[in-house]
Structure 1
């Protein structure tokens, strides 16, 4: 479901009851909201939602990246050629 809200934000809800919502503002800001039941079940640039920021930059191969750009480049889909950071 995609909706355009009064504050010029587009919101994307991932399936009914998924517990995840992504909000896009007209200024380019992206906000990801997740419910408590997803704690320790997330990965990639948003961290794993366990309250420990020291392990939020985890790479797909298990190590910790030095910065967020490295994390984004490691997790992005290889078939999206127009997705450079």
Structure 2
């Protein structure tokens, strides 16, 4: 909601903002929880399916000595 800050202050209201950095929180989100929340917030049908495909078909490689592709079940892929 857009408010006129000066008017709010004149009326005795104290406007404030809370900023929360959720960037690290996305690293531990379970994909199934993300999909459920998307449906709750009316992202359904083809849009929901597309997001689900992006999350479930992406695999990452961790190079230590030898590694295989692994499917991720948590976290938001980089660049998503």
Question: Which structure has more strand as a fraction of its residues?
Answer: 1
Question: Which structure has more helix as a fraction of its residues?
Answer: 2
- TM-score norm. by structure 2 comes to 0.20
- TM-score norm. by structure 1 comes to 0.20
Structure of larger gyration radius:
2
